[in-house]
Structure 1
């Protein structure tokens, strides 16, 4: 029994010394990553066991051969334990990073949802109040002259169309987020889609005094769903026209490389603030108030663009260029 007590004391002394050193190391490294903490904890645990075994083996006056066998066994156990522990620590650190990113994304999405509700509520409440007032004025006969009545009818139609577009955008975004979007892929000449999108955007561009210019050649044929691709181009063009001042230019071009077909919409809006670039495609993001036109939508157009492009397996990006910005959509050749 006395030998067992002695062995226990030797083990406790050796392990305790290593443990104390480990606690000091953890305190000094308290600001490091979780992977470092797990690695240190594992090293300390294995080292404490190894120190206890070696101390006891030495105190037992083992023969050189037996001591060598014990040491080799402990060394093998240390190597295996450290390897498994380090791998586990890395996986744990990766899981922690993923969890933090997931929480950050969730918070960002929740912020976007709150902003979306606020914007949509504002964009619906304001025109509805105006529509109600104009309808009551017409109903009560407060407005009687033909010119004013015609103007009220025109404004009612314009506001109704704007709210219809907003509801359509909300429906499209809900389909994208719910995974209910079903694409019918076919070979689509990009030149035809661009021509139709330019024709649809031309009235707005003419009203704002913005020139629409398209490249004369280089238009690839892409495999895509034509209605969704047309919406991507139209949304990009409308966005650029709205933010481009009078006498500005919106330019469309396209091309292809080894892996992707691409098209780009460039404008002379003056550029996007660097802090806003990462959020341009977020739901309900409209940028600075100074850049937000009065007829802006609900901040859904570019979010829909990103959703539709990603549904095609592609990606969309924006960068500042001289005097403006450039949106580039890339679609895989086999999309």
Structure 2
């Protein structure tokens, strides 16, 4: 038996080794470029090498036994090659999905870090002011009644600003966590717009910005009244903040087929094209050109507006329009 093995070993090696080396070269060349092809080569190389060795050892004498053996190899190849292709495609798809998931995870982590950095800065500024004014009052540096009243008023304003930032963070956390629950009903847009304009009117007036609202018609939408009011107020607040004195912020309402369209136009001077796709990102405030007052807010208002609009199965977009930009909200009309 050992003698027979020693006799056929050179033939087997002579026919199987080149095929195995060729398969190795192919696998090295393919690398990760085509995983299904690599899997097919990985399956075929042992089969072809074994068949070559059997043919070589037989001295190319195609006896019935050899023909049967080769037929078995052929059937094995017909079964394993498609299986290898399917497995390779499945692994390739899973690899692509995992890579995309890692990219999304890294982007989300970068967004969280950016948000923490922005919020830390924005919280530090009013807290420092409150602390300084409180110490001045405590140490008696300020004693005149009118000065004390002024400090108290400023402390109250900064406290309200901090409270608003905390509310924004809480709302944004609910949206991003998918914990937002809406009580849907028929909501007249006339009421929502009127209340938002009335609420933001004093802010616009104090800055010298004209605030206007008009409509082709006043549709009734399917939504949650408090959340829709917050969307409109966030858009108005953003528009007023970025509009210089003597500018105009205009709200226009219309209906197109089965959608209500609310447009908020400002006079911010426009948004650079490379920033238009980012205006709804968390903590994004844009270039200094869009913040004439120097107060960019916490950068959460538009992100919250987008989350609330999408929760209503609506759409929100921004584009340059006239002397500034237009933020357009589309909401489903109540049936």
Instruction: Give secondary structure in 1 for the equivalent of 2:263.
Output: strand
1:174 to 1:24, Cα distance in 2 relative to 1, 3 A: same
TM-score (norm 1): 0.82
1:242 to 1:80, Cα distance in 2 relative to 1, 3 A: farther
In the TM superposition, 1:14-25 aligns within 5 A as: 14-25=15-26
1:168 shift after superposition? 1.3
CA distance in 1, matches of 2:247, 2:228: 25
Counterpart residue number, 2:318: 318
For the aligned residue pairs, the C-alpha RMSD in angstroms reads 3.3
In the TM superposition, 1:58-137 aligns within 5 A as: 58-59=55-56, 60=58, 61-62=61-62, 67=67, 74-75=73-74, 77-137=76-136
Larger CA deviation: 4-13 vs 17-26? 4-13
1:284 shift after superposition? 2.1
Larger CA deviation: 11-20 vs 270-279? 11-20
1:318 to 1:90, Cα distance in 2 relative to 1, 3 A: farther
Counterpart residue number, 2:39: 42
CA distance in 2, matches of 1:323, 1:277: 15
1:116 shift after superposition? 2.5
1:7 to 1:86, Cα distance in 2 relative to 1, 3 A: farther
Instruction: Give secondary structure in 1 for the equivalent of 2:267.
Output: coil
CA distance in 1, matches of 2:7, 2:259: 74
Larger CA deviation: 52-61 vs 302-311? 52-61
1:313 shift after superposition? 3.2
Instruction: Give secondary structure in 2 for the equivalent of 1:187.
Output: strand
1:161 shift after superposition? 1.6
**Partner deviation per Cα, 1:130-188 (whole Å, 9 max, x = no partner):** 22332333344433444433332332222122112112112212222333322101011
Instruction: Give secondary structure in 1 for the equivalent of 2:181.
Output: coil
Is the 2:265–2:327 Cα contact (8 Å) retained in structure 1? Answer: yes
1:91 shift after superposition? 2.7
Is the 2:20–2:46 Cα contact (8 Å) retained in structure 1? Answer: no
1:239 shift after superposition? 1.1
CA distance in 1, matches of 2:247, 2:210: 6
Counterpart residue number, 2:216: 217
1:74 to 1:224, Cα distance in 2 relative to 1, 3 A: farther
1:230 to 1:52, Cα distance in 2 relative to 1, 3 A: same
Is the 1:19–1:45 Cα contact (8 Å) retained in structure 2? Answer: no
Counterpart residue number, 1:51: 48
Which structure has the larger Rg over C-alpha atoms? 2
Larger CA deviation: 204-213 vs 218-227? 204-213
Is the 1:16–1:48 Cα contact (8 Å) retained in structure 2? Answer: no
1:113 shift after superposition? 2.4
Is the 2:186–2:334 Cα contact (8 Å) retained in structure 1? Answer: no
CA distance in 2, matches of 1:39, 1:12: 28
**Partner deviation per Cα, 1:254-310 (whole Å, 9 max, x = no partner):** 445566544333333222233333432222222234434433322111221222223
Counterpart residue number, 1:294: 294
Instruction: Give secondary structure in 2 for the equivalent of 1:242.
Output: helix
CA distance in 1, matches of 2:7, 2:306: 71
In the TM superposition, 1:237-256 aligns within 5 A as: 237-256=236-255
Query: Any stretches of 5+ residues in structure 2 without a counterpart?
Result: none
Query: Any stretches of 5+ residues in structure 1 without a counterpart?
Result: none
**Partner deviation per Cα, 1:5-30 (whole Å, 9 max, x = no partner):** 77776665555434433433344444
TM-score (norm 2): 0.82
